[in-house]
A and B are shown apart, each in its own frame.
Chain A
């Protein structure tokens, strides 16, 4: 079933939760809605489900306008972050709820039982059908919730932060398992998450949302490699931002020329967005940008180094091999080998900005000649 949302708008006390959002999800596609809290991703999901009514705009399932259809008739399987299981019902009754609630084509009780056992097998919970939700772990509960949603043979499967309440290990297992279920059942699936890793790993297509708008809708590779906006760049993966100047089609940082593709940006101030892998350490004495190490920490097989560069002591993070010893206050030269330049006026994802450290020695900058220029 194809899901199409057209020009959805939804206003909550002065704040636009959905600001003219249009989205098409192809049959059988697994799409992630990714964004920070308050970006409108959950509102979009709930609007598609029919749990919220948009102020304007239309939702279509296969060209069928759903504006006047009730939630009960939409046939959406909805899974909540906190499972929303019926606590007073056993697992089997939870799963059978949707089948028993049918007013027409209600299957026989023996048929319902067969379906329930089949679904329990699918979600790998066979043997637990007589348990109450309180007797299950978080991961098991979420699988029951999914089985319950699948029982009605939904036209669309919608999941709101399905793994948000689970611990990291269970979350990873369930992610892989959801992907398998999706491949086996082929439901058109939309899920909301604020976890970029989850979105990139699980989805065929990632829709990044911010402030009620869609920033980019693309495959995980495209989202990571060619982020359309500074927001997408800074929301996905690790990033450092430093201001640069554009002039004569080149980018410069404190009058040092950077070897970067800048596209068709006008002259003037701009922002350079860097991933840790866009920066390397210069070890052969070649040209580069000098800086002072402020902190290092071990991340897996690499060492994440934070250095301060330039007059305004911009912070850049990059990865150095773990076997190279790097100490705080050490001077290094780095070279920018990648990254993307965005014109000023567009905003990145605001996190708590790392404030320049007050304790680091200022004299080095003078010695390097940065301050006298």
Chain B
């Protein structure tokens, strides 16, 4: 700033506390963008379902078919996310920590569920796990487990589509972990298990939680792959997104938006809790 600058300009500049310029512009853009892409369409959902009135709304919400569909959608997504968290961390660990032939291929393969049309994945899984498919037959004959066209199949499909989220969020954080902290733990007498649980895991925890949340959210909203592997029987293996489509096809738009609104509220509440948990864990583990 030059000495000849008028007082007004000077005081304006001094009011800025941040060294990062462009707060007004970027904040305005962010709000406008989020409104257009996310908030306005979702608000439309709310308004549409509000036209039903409370009585109608609760009737749809507590309809047995709707409740079972919601239970299946959220329950399967939760189970799939938990399984993905365990095995996704394992996959990330192997990809980061070990060097072996074909590592790059394996690394690239992790992204395939991202890229593949989910319907293709659903058909592939259905072929494999159907009662007469190669895996489905073995599982049924040997263990008596039916996967294809059951709610287990729903979980299977959600595991497939959610895996990359955990791997891809944990991988970079794991790469950043300093070898030296592990070496220091060893010199201090910590056995390997103690080092993993006390040194590595706490550092990974926020990333694991993010991966879990993403995988869960993906699972709740998944439609394409599930409808092929599940038999879509009402009360048994019908997911909420499918129910919405069915209502739409029946031109029952109010019913569809009501279910969507319920899903939205539950999803938002769960993601909000996960975010809180994450903020808390970051503080607890000293990331801030």
A interface with B by C-beta (< 8 Å): 49-51, 71-78, 80, 82, 84-90, 97-98, 101-103, 132-134, 145, 148-149, 151-152
Cα–Cα, bound, A90→B284 (Å): 10
Of A49, A71, A76, A88, which one neighbours B286 at CB under 8 angstroms? Answer: A88
| Inter-subunit contact B187/A71 (CB<8 Å) | yes
| Inter-subunit contact A98/B178 (CB<8 Å) | no
**Is B180 an interface residue when CB atoms closer than 8 A count as contact?**
yes
Cα–Cα, bound, A4→B286 (Å): 40
Cα–Cα, bound, A12→B274 (Å): 47
Beyond A72-B190, A101-B189, whether A88 also contacts B183 by CB under 8 A is no
Cα–Cα, bound, A102→B191 (Å): 9
Which one of B187, B285, B286 has the greatest number of beta carbons of chain A within 10 Å?
A: B187
**Closest beta carbon of chain A to B202's beta carbon, Å:** 4
- What total of chain B residues lie within 8 Å of the partner, measured CB to CB? 22
Known contacts A71-B186, A102-B189; 16 further A-B pairs (Cβ under 8 A): A51-B183, A71-B187, A72-B190, A82-B178, A85-B181, A87-B287, A88-B286, A89-B286, A97-B185, A97-B188, A97-B190, A97-B198, A98-B189, A145-B184, A151-B188, A152-B189
B205, closest chain A residue (CB): A88
Beyond A102-B189, A132-B286, A134-B286, whether A88 also contacts B202 by CB under 8 A is yes
| Inter-subunit contact A82/B180 (CB<8 Å) | yes
| Inter-subunit contact B194/A101 (CB<8 Å) | yes
| Inter-subunit contact B187/A49 (CB<8 Å) | yes
Residues of the B chain whose Cβ atoms lie less than 8 Å from the Cβ of A97 = 185, 188, 190, 198
Residues of the B chain whose Cβ atoms lie less than 8 Å from the Cβ of A89 = 202, 286
| Inter-subunit contact A101/B188 (CB<8 Å) | yes
Beyond A98-B189, A102-B189, A148-B188, whether A84 also contacts B183 by CB under 8 A is yes
Residues of the A chain whose Cβ atoms lie less than 8 Å from the Cβ of B184 = 78, 80, 84, 145, 148
| Inter-subunit contact B189/A77 (CB<8 Å) | no
Q: Mark B191-217, 1 if CB is under 8 A from A, else 0.
A: 100100011001100000000000000
| Inter-subunit contact A88/B188 (CB<8 Å) | no
Residues of the B chain whose Cβ atoms lie less than 8 Å from the Cβ of A148 = 184, 188
| Inter-subunit contact A152/B181 (CB<8 Å) | no
| Inter-subunit contact A80/B202 (CB<8 Å) | no
Cα–Cα, bound, A50→B288 (Å): 33
Residues of the A chain whose Cβ atoms lie less than 8 Å from the Cβ of B190 = 72, 97-98, 101
Which one of B189, B191, B194, B203 has the greatest number of beta carbons of chain A within 10 Å?
A: B189
Residues of the A chain whose Cβ atoms lie less than 8 Å from the Cβ of B203 = 87-88
Cα–Cα, bound, A134→B282 (Å): 13
**Closest beta carbon of chain B to A373's beta carbon, Å:** 60
A49, closest chain B residue (CB): B187
Beyond A82-B180, A84-B178, A84-B180, whether A90 also contacts B286 by CB under 8 A is yes
Cα–Cα, bound, A71→B189 (Å): 7
Pairs of residues from A and B, 5 with the lowest C-beta to C-beta distance, nearest first: A98-B188, A88-B285, A84-B180, A132-B286, A101-B190
**Closest beta carbon of chain A to B151's beta carbon, Å:** 38
Which one of B178, B185, B188, B198 has the greatest number of beta carbons of chain A within 10 Å?
A: B188
Cα–Cα, bound, A300→B287 (Å): 45
Which one of B190, B194, B202, B284 has the greatest number of beta carbons of chain A within 10 Å?
A: B190
Residues of the A chain whose Cβ atoms lie less than 8 Å from the Cβ of B187 = 49-51, 71-72, 74, 76-78, 149
Of A78, A87, A149, A152, which one neighbours B183 at CB under 8 angstroms? Answer: A78
Residues of the B chain whose Cβ atoms lie less than 8 Å from the Cβ of A152 = 188-189
Pick 25 A–B contacts, CB within 8 A, sort by A: A51-B183, A71-B183, A71-B187, A72-B187, A72-B189, A75-B189, A76-B187, A78-B183, A78-B187, A84-B178, A87-B203, A87-B286, A87-B287, A89-B202, A97-B185, A97-B190, A101-B185, A101-B189, A101-B194, A132-B286, A145-B184, A148-B184, A148-B188, A149-B188, A151-B188
Cα–Cα, bound, A161→B210 (Å): 37
**Closest beta carbon of chain B to A188's beta carbon, Å:** 15
**Closest beta carbon of chain B to A33's beta carbon, Å:** 17
Cα–Cα, bound, A50→B237 (Å): 57
Within 8 A of A (CB), among B166-189: 178, 180-181, 183-189
Cα–Cα, bound, A139→B203 (Å): 23
B183, closest chain A residue (CB): A51
Residues of the B chain whose Cβ atoms lie less than 8 Å from the Cβ of A71 = 183, 186-187
**Closest beta carbon of chain B to A98's beta carbon, Å:** 4
B190, closest chain A residue (CB): A101
**Closest beta carbon of chain B to A160's beta carbon, Å:** 9
Cα–Cα, bound, A50→B184 (Å): 11
Residues of the A chain whose Cβ atoms lie less than 8 Å from the Cβ of B189 = 72-73, 75, 98, 101-102, 152
Cα–Cα, bound, A103→B194 (Å): 11
| Inter-subunit contact A72/B186 (CB<8 Å) | yes
Residues of the B chain whose Cβ atoms lie less than 8 Å from the Cβ of A50 = 187
Residues of the B chain whose Cβ atoms lie less than 8 Å from the Cβ of A72 = 186-187, 189-191
**Closest beta carbon of chain A to B176's beta carbon, Å:** 11
Cα–Cα, bound, A238→B183 (Å): 37
Cα–Cα, bound, A332→B203 (Å): 65
**Closest beta carbon of chain A to B144's beta carbon, Å:** 44
Cα–Cα, bound, A89→B190 (Å): 15
**Closest beta carbon of chain A to B208's beta carbon, Å:** 13
Cα–Cα, bound, A89→B200 (Å): 12
**Closest beta carbon of chain A to B198's beta carbon, Å:** 8
Residues of the A chain whose Cβ atoms lie less than 8 Å from the Cβ of B287 = 87-88
